Structure 1
Amino acid sequence: MNNQRLVILLLLIAYIFSPSLFNWIINPEGAWYRPYIVWILVIVIAFVIQLRRKKYQDLD
């Protein structure tokens, strides 16, 4: 149940900040690696959630 709250909170934050984030990513004067930063963050967050989930499953 706790993971569901975290995912809902992350989705809400992403929804609120998505226009600003999208403009930051596609800004032609910005660095070429900006979209990759966002994807790395998504992968790291998913990895951490999976580690926590496995940790709690091993305890049961």
Structure 2
Amino acid sequence: MYIQRTLLLTLVVLLVCFPFIADWLTSDFSAWHRPYLVWSFIIFIAWLSQRSRHSDEL
């Protein structure tokens, strides 16, 4: 199984920054739509990384 370098680097950065991101998302003064924006960004990045694959590569 081949893992793209960019995806692997992104996962490592997210693991390192996860405590800060969790505090930012759950702060008392945060907007209600902030978690939805983060998940939308994650879904968009996943779509970008998968759109160039051909059906026989899955």
Question: What's the TM-score, normalizing by structure 1?
Answer: 0.77
* Structure 1, gaps ≥5 residues long: none
Aligned residue pair count: 54
* Cα offset, 1:37, TM superposition: 1.0
1:32 equivalent to 2:32? Answer yes
In the alignment, what sits opposite 2:23? 23
- Which one has the bigger helix percentage? 1
Percent identical pairs in the alignment equals 33
Q: Distance between the aligned counterparts of 2:12 and 2:24, measured in 1?
A: 19
The CA RMSD over aligned residues, in Å, is 1.5
In the alignment, what sits opposite 2:14? 14
* Greater relative CO, 1 or 2 (CA 8 Å, sep 6+): 1
* Structure 2, gaps ≥5 residues long: none
The list of structure 1 runs, each at least 4 consecutive aligned residues, that deviate by more than 4 angstroms after superposition, is: none
Question: What's the TM-score, normalizing by structure 2?
Answer: 0.79
